[in-house]
Amino acid sequence: MKRYMWALCAALLTAACTDDAELQPSVPENVDEETLPAGTVAVPLTVTLGTDWDTDAPKTREAPPDQRPGLVNESGLEETKDVDRVRVIAFRRRTLDDIIMTEDTDTSFVYDPSNDQTLTCTWQDGTPDGQTPTAHTRKEAKGTLKKVYGYEYRVVAVGYSSRRAFADTEGIVPASGEENVFDFDLSDGLKFQDFKVTVKDYGVWDEFLKGNPSSVIAYESVGCLSWKTVFVPQFFYGYCHTGNGNPIIPFAEEGDGEDEQETDKPLTGILYRGVAKLELYFTAQIYHNVIDYNLLWCALLGTNVQTEVGLTDYDDFLRPFTPVQPAEDADGEYTMLTRATGLSGGKEFMLTAYVLPAKMRLGIRMRGEGTWGLRYHNGKIEVSNGGSSGENATGIISTNVQGEEFYFRRNHKYVFTGGKTTELFENHPLN
């Protein structure tokens, strides 16, 4: 007997022997319940992290975001090593052939909490965490999707890192785990077209704004700051299918044999990064009135930091929305994206952050301490023909941004390098 008929008979027998609510799906109006046999089938699910990064040619003016592809950068394999979790979220609707269609019929996919799961992502060849993967190694996450007869599904997967440690923020932001700094808007009855993710924003601590209140040193103005902190996760995104690329997964579909329907085809999917990665390398040292200030910390700032994005398609990441709003007492728009601490004068340091695609300006806020006490500095990051702290950045300029404005694109990596920050901070203040 063909697999589909076997599954159907088994489902009917199972339904007769159980009161499990999941085996007795709710029936839409105008549908005869007796025509909808109840049953389930579990199918294996495997998602893989894509490893290609895109980079634009350095020092060129590229097309606006995603109007043409960048250059393939194979180093993306190493960039996936910290991503260790994949959230799989399913939506389902009654198979359209089983519904009497009217003008008022709602054919939306609705959130299915029974298929909401978090999977562990590991190297497919067993490479231990922390070791360099081989050229053909990929990160994978494996699970199982439960399908109910009479329904069809859409399955979305989002990867992130539960191991990422965040900059010290005096307890304002969780110390680690990207799952702690974003929320899915999941609720009973949520429709697929309304599915989105929201990155949380936090305040800043007093020391970030004004340092030691007992100091007599005049502090750098905070008028440029939003008084907000945002840590954007790495966000890999994709959907699952049975091999034909169709995002809609039926209970049964054509098999290999003639007139044969299969219910147990495995699901696969590839996840691609929906955010941009920023890497900044500087050798920083503060001078003021010939006094050498030891650098204690340096924070990366950005304007127009977006916090929400739809999750119905990978192209949703081209259109994030809801920029960070300044705190009630703040006048500026520069939001903290990350911070490096434990520094000293003349020491090279690196800042790493992720952002949803947007046109932004970048800046730095530093704290130094010297003979005459504490001092703060703000400064812009610019790219110009005359040279600046970001003159060697890759992939940052598009046709509608100039100088201090950058358009950061999804799945792109941007590297800034520069020399000492004396000139940067003396000549390019944020406010």
Inside any domain, residue 284:
yes
- CB within 8 A of 428, min separation 6: which ones? 379, 380, 382, 388, 404
pLDDT of residue 355: 96
> How many domains, in total, are found in the chain?
1
Specify if 78 maps to a domain. Answer: no
What distance in Å separates the CA atoms of residue 40 and residue 15, rounded to the nearest whole number?
10
- The DSSP secondary-structure symbol of 360 reads E
Residues spanned by the domain of 304: 203-229+275-431
Quick one: pLDDT at residue 353?
96
| Distance between CA atoms of residues 324 and 425, nearest Å | 25
Which of 125, 105, 119 is CA-nearest to residue 159?
A: 119
Least Cα distance to 55 among 32, 71, 35, 75 occurs for: 71
- Residue 288: the pLDDT is 57
Where the chain has pLDDT below 50, the residues are 1-2, 4-37, 56-72, 74, 212-218, 385-401, 420-429
Answer yes or no: is 147 within a domain. no
Task: Report yes or no on 234 lying in a domain.
Answer: no
Q: Is residue 56 part of a domain?
A: no
R_g of the chain, CA atoms, integer Å: 26
First CA to last CA distance, the chain? 76
**The predicted structure's pLDDT at residue 32:** 40
CB 406 within 8 A of CB 360: yes
Distance CA 300, CA 166 (A): 13
In a domain, 341, yes or no: yes
pLDDT at 85: 97
Whole-number pLDDT of residue 274: 94
Q: 277: part of which helix (H) or strand (E)?
A: strand 276-284
Residue 74 contacts residue 153 (beta carbons within 8 Å): no
Does residue 388 contact residue 424 with C-beta atoms inside 8 Å?
A: yes
- The verdict on residue 368 lying in a domain is yes
**Does residue 387 lie within any of the structural domains?**
yes
